[in-house]
Amino acid sequence: MSDISDATLETNVLDELPVQEETPTAPQKDETPPAGEGQQPDDLRSAMTELADTVQRLTEPRPPTPPPPSPEQIAEYWKVYDPEAGNKEFFHKWFRMNPDATAEEVSQAKELFAGVQRGLMLQAITAARNYIAMERSSIDEQYRPILDYVEGAKREATRGRFYDQYPGLDDKRFAKIIDATARSLDNKEFTDEDDYFKALAEGAAGSIKEILPEFDAGKKPETTKKPGQPPRLPRTSAGGGGGAGKGSTHDALQPTGRQNDIDSLEEEAPA
């Protein structure tokens, strides 16, 4: 029998095994998709992020609602007078109670005192409100002219801004239409002044176009004065103070009913 050990046998067997050549691994493909393929658009990605943030905020535990204030906290806030805070025997001395008074008698005395205290506080608060109202009325009366001037200036500035945007409506003929349109917008809400101006102008222009189809609220109306037409002046009569003599004034000009054209002015022969 051979004295070859198991370790030697194992070594010889391993040496006789054929050596396996390493199979070259195939190059890994780039898993990153080309640009534009498999990628979410920016707007969708932003929407998903916003949705995730919203869900996170909704799922976060809300802070607990604080409990309502206790009677002691309310008393401290309003500085409610507590006579026993400075003198534990206050009610006994105030009501001249018997030292052997029962707890029920002391409780009744405290309730009576609390009722008086509430009444006096209500009286003081009412008096303070009335005093403030009278003082405010006096101040309003004193500064009413200034307030009216300021309010008038603000209204005038508002009208100016409106007519600057819609000069076609700046005509006295349309005043009642604009006023009626403004009243119809009283119960409506608008984001800003321009939004209100637009609604007012469109409403008034719609009513005006029923009569004047070619009306344009954003166009300044043209004057109807004919080119070359002289201004009209009142006709005067001789001897009526309308001459160029001493002491003549424009106030003395009297109309005669004839054509008030400067080219047709003729002095009447004296009587």
Query: What is the pLDDT tens value at each position of the chain, 271 positions in all?
Result: 444 444 444 444 444 444 445 555 555 545 555 544 455 567 788 888 888 888 787 777 878 888 999 988 988 998 888 999 889 889 989 999 988 889 999 999 999 999 999 999 999 999 999 999 999 999 989 999 998 898 899 989 999 999 999 999 998 889 999 999 999 998 888 999 999 999 999 999 999 999 888 888 888 776 555 555 554 444 444 444 444 444 444 443 344 444 443 343 344 444 4
Cα three-residue angle 225-228-231, rounded to 5 degrees: 65
Q: Is 0.85 topped by the overall pTM?
A: no
For residue 216, what are the contacts with CB-CB under 8 A and spacing of at least 6? Answer: 168, 205
For residue 133, what are the contacts with CB-CB under 8 A and spacing of at least 6? Answer: none
Domain ranges of the chain: 73-139, 151-209
pLDDT per position as a tens digit, 172-200? 889 999 999 999 998 888 999 999 999 99
Q: Which two tokens stand for residue 16?
A: 């006789």
